């Protein structure tokens, strides 16, 4: 039996057709990046848009780590 090819997900950012690298909860991603394409609970982002998400949430993540 030949190995099955995994379907490559595309970035859900409007106008972007790059291959997705990461998936995030839709609610958190839409707070930072605005409205995104697709439906469901998770959103897929390419490397470029994931980097934008990380930069935008940097301060929030630092404060979260300090809490414990």
The per-residue pLDDT for range 7-44, each reduced to its tens digit, is 789 999 999 999 999 999 999 999 999 999 988 999 99
Separate counts of helices (H) and strands (E) for the chain? 3, 2
> Please, which pLDDT band fits residue 1 given cuts at 50, 70 and 90?
low
CA–CA separation, 63 and 2 (whole Å) = 48
Residues 50/18, Cβ–Cβ less than 8 Å: no
* Structure tokens belonging to residue 53: 């998400």
- pLDDT at position 55 over 90: yes
b vs e for 29-39, b when ≥16 Cβ sit within 10 Å of the residue's Cβ?
Answer: beeebeebeee
Q: What is the pTM of this model?
A: 0.80
> Would you give the DSSP letter of residue 53?
H
Residue 3: its pLDDT value, please? 64
């Amino acid at each position: 039996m030949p190995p099955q090819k995994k379907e490559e997900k595309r970035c859900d950012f409007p106008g972007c057709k790059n291959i997705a690298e990461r998936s995030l909860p839709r609610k958190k991603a839409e707070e930072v990046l605005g409205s995104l394409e697709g439906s469901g609970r998770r959103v897929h982002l390419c490397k470029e848009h994931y980097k934008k998400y990380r930069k935008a949430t940097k301060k929030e993540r630092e404060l979260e780590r300090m809490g414990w």
